[in-house]
Amino acid sequence: MRKNLKIYKRLSSLPFGRQIFTFVVCRMAPYFSSIKPQIRELKPGYAEVAIKKRRKVTNHLNTVHAIAMCNMAELAGGMMTDVTVPVKSRWIPVGMTVEYLQKAKTDLTAIASGDGIEWDTEGDKKVPVEVKDTAGNLVFRAEITMNVRLA
């Protein structure tokens, strides 16, 4: 089992465990803390990350800024990839394409799904991430290219 998944499973059963896990992740990769994410769920092939709509992540239209959504998409996609790739393999994001579908006017949830991706081979993997508002509307979509190297 991957180290991050083991830590997540251990902490998520504790009070405030998910918050503690998210804090640790943001200490390792400090830029993610700019959006104050909450890693809600993490398992092989799936990650869910939420952010609150607050002033520091909004733009001049009072909607969630596009780069804040990119940030949460990369966090969700990266965490999902990390707990899904074979043990001892390495990965790194090498590209991202995004679509801004609607104004993001509420809190948001990003879901990264690894279904249908062949994780047991080396090379570039296209990781889809969808960002939805509190009404379930799809406001943003990303495809993150993760380069995977097997040990």
CATH number at residue 60: 3.10.129.10
Residue 2 pLDDT greater than 90, yes or no: no
Kindly state the percentage of the chain with pLDDT values over 90. 93
Convert the pLDDT of each residue in 24-77 to its tens digit. Answer: 999 999 999 999 999 999 999 999 999 999 999 999 999 999 999 999 999 999
- pLDDT at position 113 is 97
Question: How far apart, in whole angstroms, are the C-alpha atoms of residue 101 and residue 107?
Answer: 16
Residue 3 pLDDT greater than 90, yes or no: no
3-7, 71-75, 101-105, 120-124: range with lowest mean pLDDT:
3-7
Contact 122, 148 (CB under 8 A): yes
Question: How far apart, in whole angstroms, are the C-alpha atoms of residue 99 and residue 44?
Answer: 25
Mean pLDDT estimate for the chain = 95
Ramachandran assignment for 87, one of left (phi > 0), alpha (psi -120 to 50 degrees), beta (any other): beta
Answering whether pTM is above 0.85, one says yes
Domains identified in the chain, total number: 1
Residue 1 pLDDT greater than 70, yes or no: no
Residue 85's domain comprises 3-149
